[in-house]
Amino acid sequence: MEGIKRRRLGEGAWRELLARHAIGGESVSEFCRREGLSPNSFRRWRERLAPGALGAAPREAVPVSSAPAACGFVELGVLGGATAPAAGRLELHLELGGGITLHLVRG
């Protein structure tokens, strides 16, 4: 493949690239050509980082109402309840669509 230089990217860089591709609307070939990436590497990382892929961090689903929210906001209430210790560990994973996941950790 002409014009592609080998470079090593970490997981964070691949997550960012996959997110940009998801919102861009380009084909994998076009995106990889523009970014100087190997399409095979792109596809491998997309599979590796896909939700539910082997080795992906386990996620617990939070049940929500089946009725669609008019404004797109889902009220979950107070996480941990009133008896939870203020300094306790909290992990929150939000799948935003398009391959983008928000991971928040406290504690």
Residue, of 29 and 107, whose pLDDT is higher: 29
Rounded-to-integer distance, Cα 23 and Cα 47, Å: 17
pLDDT band at 69 (very low <50, low <70, confident <90, very high): very low
Average pLDDT over residues 42-65: 68
DSSP-assigned letter for residue 38: -
Q: Single out the residue of 31, 28, 38, 30 nearest to residue 4, CA to CA.
A: 38
Structure confidence at residue 1 (pLDDT): 47
Rounded-to-integer distance, Cα 97 and Cα 100, Å: 6
In the predicted structure, residue 40 carries a pLDDT above the cut 90: yes
In 10 A of CB 55, how many CB atoms? 6
The pTM (predicted TM-score) of the whole model is 0.45
pLDDT band at 103 (very low <50, low <70, confident <90, very high): confident
